[in-house]
Amino acid sequence: MSSKSQNDYVIQNGSLIGDFENLYKNFDDPWSQSKFSEELDAQRALIFNSCRRIRKEFNFSRVIELGCGFGIFSDFLRRDGFAAVGMDIAHSAIHRARDEHPETVFIQGDIEDFERIELFDPEIYLMMEITWYVLEHLDKFIDRLKMKASAQEKPIFLIHLLSVYAPGKQQYGKEMFTNLEEILGHFDLNYTEYAELTFNYSDADSAVGTYFTAKIE
């Protein structure tokens, strides 16, 4: 176990560190992922139910979770009948995901690897609490989703979950967005659902959850 905190590997003093490889090597359970193996919290339940509604209405089943970590949610989706793929930038996270969930497909990479992502032709893209770590590539990724959707006859869906912080608390990414309204304006998509979420755990500090589902066509 490392003497460093998780944040030492992620974001410090308003700057992105992004050392996810060593984060996953040095922490057995970053962000307490294991607690969601059998029961989802309210935020993940919201994402799960959004996926189910899309499947029911559009008969879509191919889902990719970007930044899947140890793959617990990806495997949860697979067990519900989705053709789920988990993707993470950290080799160590993907190795463990494959060991613990051998029936689910996992690949190493990030959102820059769009061609690799598209080998699975996802119909639903999940971004859960990873946006702060990919700001540099975010706009290009969204543009590529729009290009994909415009070149085919069916839509694609982006489901997005991100914590933001009260004024004075957020140090990183505040020039891009600091609340749900600014997030919706930045992505500039056709939203079928969006909401602010209340966290139900004691260490949430001043964080506010933001959520949207967007239909891109």
Q: Which pTM value belongs to this model?
A: 0.90
Helix, strand, coil % over all residues of the chain, rounded to 5: 40, 25, 35
Strand partners, 216: 156
pLDDT of the residue at 167:
65
Read off the tokens for 30.
Answer: 């970053």
Q: Please return the burial class of 19, using the count of CB atoms within 10 Å of its CB with bins 0-12, 13-18 and 19+.
A: middle
pLDDT of the residue at 55:
98
Read off the tokens for 24.
Answer: 């996953």
* CATH of residue 124: 3.40.50.150
Residue 20 lies in a domain: yes
Per-residue pLDDT of the chain (217 residues; tens, 9 = 90+): 456 777 777 777 667 777 888 888 888 877 777 766 555 678 889 999 999 999 999 999 999 999 999 999 999 999 999 999 999 999 999 999 999 999 999 999 999 999 999 999 999 999 999 998 999 899 999 999 999 999 999 999 999 999 887 666 666 666 788 889 999 999 999 999 999 987 654 444 567 889 999 999 9
206 contacts: CB under 8 Å, gap ≥ 6? 165, 166, 169
Read off the tokens for 195.
Answer: 């909401």
Residue 198's nearest CA partner among 164, 150, 160, 170 is 164
Read off the tokens for 88.
Answer: 């993470």
Residue 101's nearest CA partner among 122, 126, 73 is 73
Residue 178 lies in a domain: yes
Q: Which domain holds residue 46?
A: 6-216
The number of distinct structural domains making up the chain is: 1
Residue with the two structure tokens 């959707």:
149
Residue 1 lies in a domain: no
d(CA 128, CA 121): 19
Q: What is the DSSP letter of 149?
A: H
Residue 191 lies in a domain: yes
Angstrom CA distances, 175 to 101, 124, 197, stand at 38, 28, 22
